[in-house]
Amino acid sequence: MVQAIRGMRDVLPDEGRRWRAVEQSLESVLLSYAYEEVHLPLMEFTELFSRGVGEATDIVEKEMYSLLDRDGDSLTLRPEGTAGCVRVLQQHGLLFNQTQRVFYRGPMFRYERPQKGRYRQFYQMGAEAFGMAGPDVDAELLAMTAACWKTLGIEDKVRLEINTLGSSDSRARYRAALVDYLSGFEAELDEDSRRRLATNPLRILDTKVERTRTLLEGAPVLSQFMDEEGLAHFDGLKATLDSLGIEYQVNPQLVRGLDYYNLTVFEWITDDLGAQGTVCGGGRYDGLVEQLGGKPTPGAGFALGLERVLLLFEQRNQPTRPAADVYIAVMSQAEQVYALQLADRLRQSVPELRIRVHAGGGKLKNQLKKADQCGASWAAIVGADEVSAGTITLKTLATGEQITLGLDEAAERLTGLGGTGVRLSDR
């Protein structure tokens, strides 16, 4: 049997149910902030990511799934959504002189070393806001993510870290000072950091290597190079977060792994998932649209990793809705067509019901076992009597109670309630 590719997870029905609960909650939060959904292609020209995400980033240097298509064009499976989102809005004339608030979701691909919470195909939900330069929209993005955690009941599992990278001028001055400082210790740096000294020195701040971290303690810090505009933006963000009651920590070491950021950067971090602690990351990227060939347009956004959010959600151990609410069993093959018609009528009168009709014949006892297995609260049993009277016999599986009703009555009884007495909409 051919096996799955390493790092590309299969989602089975049990997880699929929790996944849907999480995704629907997140979607409803994004929609409630009036963000609109865009669908982005899974593949783009490789150049979009090397120019957008940055040549010297880990993603572009060593993690992209790229291929040559039959025309010889280099294409890449998207490793993230921001560059593609800019490309789409720019190409369709939706950026210049306008504001846009959009979200997207779907699989992203990075050739990373797989472990719990880190995969080669993973699922992001991301939101991007264009055309708004002030810190108010940064705060809105953070409020929106905070609302996501609250809706999922995981707000006590995540904390927010923020930082400012300043304008590109101040970053360039800082970069020079950092290179100057670290060059003095070049022999003591780990191999990765030594390489980054030439290509992407700010990323050294992210290092997990203890020896390098110690060296960094004496390094110049970005805030010393900040210009007034950058500081005012950051103060504005902090003040808004304070007023909204959103707690955060300023982490001067936070630089993020993609090159397009300026001013605000942030990450939501958890201590409950081991090394893969970042559940959501984002920030401002005012230069990206221009970098990709458009007119200067401010932008900011975030993306969250759905698998990581799901792992936190699972720790809450909340029951999710079962596959079926009602399982229709038939006494004999003769009632099969009636059972199918009955199911359709019930689906029409109570659209939120999930109804599974038994297929394949067999003893009633075995059919009822299947009803239990799929989590249904009710079995509807259909025999010759029900067919001739046009009725339905409903059995509450938890108690074994049975009642024969007309179709309308049955629909009424099933409306809004599962057999456990839990409102369907609450499950």
Residues that bind ligand HAM (CB under 6 A): 80-82, 110, 112, 118-119, 122, 124, 126, 128, 257-258, 278-283, 285, 301-305, 307-308
Least separation in angstroms between CB 39 and ligand HAM: 16
Least separation in angstroms between CB 129 and ligand HAM: 9
Least separation in angstroms between CB 263 and ligand HAM: 12
Least separation in angstroms between CB 301 and ligand HAM: 3
Nearer to ligand HAM, 75 or 304 (CB): 304
20-41 core/surface letters (b: 16 or more CB in 10 A; e: else): ebbbebbbebbeeeebeebebe
Nearer to ligand HAM, 119 or 234 (CB): 119
Burial (0-12, 13-18, 19+ Cβ within 10 Å), 92: exposed
Least separation in angstroms between CB 33 and ligand HAM: 15
Nearer to ligand HAM, 108 or 222 (CB): 108
The neighbouring-strand residues paired with 106 are 124
Nearer to ligand HAM, 120 or 358 (CB): 120
Least separation in angstroms between CB 126 and ligand HAM: 5
Q: Specify whether the CB–CB gap between 38 and 85 falls below 8 A.
A: yes
Nearer to ligand HAM, 158 or 394 (CB): 158
Least separation in angstroms between CB 266 and ligand HAM: 9
Q: How far is CA 34 from CA 24, 137, 301, 354, 399, in A?
A: 15, 13, 14, 30, 45
Nearer to ligand HAM, 225 or 266 (CB): 266
Q: Specify whether the CB–CB gap between 125 and 301 falls below 8 A.
A: no
Nearer to ligand HAM, 118 or 395 (CB): 118
Structure tokens at 3: 């096996």
Which residue, judged by CB position, is nearest to ligand HAM in the bound state? 305
Least separation in angstroms between CB 401 and ligand HAM: 46
Nearer to ligand HAM, 133 or 405 (CB): 133
Q: State how far the Cα of 288 lies from the Cα of 259, in Å rounded to an integer.
A: 9
- The number of CA neighbours under 13 Å toward the Cβ of 115 is 6
Nearer to ligand HAM, 230 or 281 (CB): 281
Least separation in angstroms between CB 7 and ligand HAM: 8
Q: State how far the Cα of 353 lies from the Cα of 346, in Å rounded to an integer.
A: 8
